[in-house]
Amino acid sequence: MRELARTFQAFNAYDDEHIRQLGLTAPQFDVICTLGNTPGMTMGQLAEKTLVTKGTLTGIIDRLERKGLVRREVPPANRRCFMIVLTTEGDRVFEEVFPAHIAYLKQRFSKLNEQELEEIRLSLRKLRQLFQPIQN
């Protein structure tokens, strides 16, 4: 377990450093990338996809809204909720930061061959499945 934790910490530090250089926090980046190329999402959908609680997500959305990157819209069909949508500036940021960050990560992942990447993917999937609740 220690190796898994150290690996996550190393990846997170590498990942976070670049995201900060792009002018965002990791949670803000995650929200922008999750909303990119979509018509928007409810807070519940966004919380589920970003693995962030709705309470924490509210603060992230507030900060992104102040930056002019997202807006809240009330859909006409369901006025009890609202959608989080990228603004034009948010779309521009997504189009800029997403490919830049993928290229940044590829610098490291390209040091592994296809077989190694597949072995890692399968091992991580197997490990995750060990900790998921058993379905009856």
**Residue 113: inside a domain:** yes
Which residues have a Cβ under 8 Å from the Cβ of 35 and sit 6 or more positions away? 41, 46, 70, 84, 85, 86, 90, 94
Query: Considering the entire predicted model, what is its pTM?
Result: 0.85
Residue 78, pLDDT score: 75
The number of folded domains in the chain is 1
For residues 3-11, give the mean pLDDT. Answer: 95
For residues 17-46, give the mean pLDDT. Answer: 95
| Contact criterion met (CB below 8 Å) for 74 and 58 | no
Q: What is the mean pLDDT of the chain?
A: 93
Residue 79, pLDDT score: 74
Tokens for 13?
Answer: 């530090």
Confidence band (pLDDT; 50, 70, 90) for 71? Answer: very high
For residues 88-115, give the mean pLDDT. Answer: 96
**Which amino acid would we find at residue 121?**
R
pLDDT tens, position by position, 44-53 = 999 999 988 8
Domain region containing 21: 2-131
| CATH number assigned to the domain comprising residue 44 | 1.10.10.10
**Residue 136: inside a domain:** no
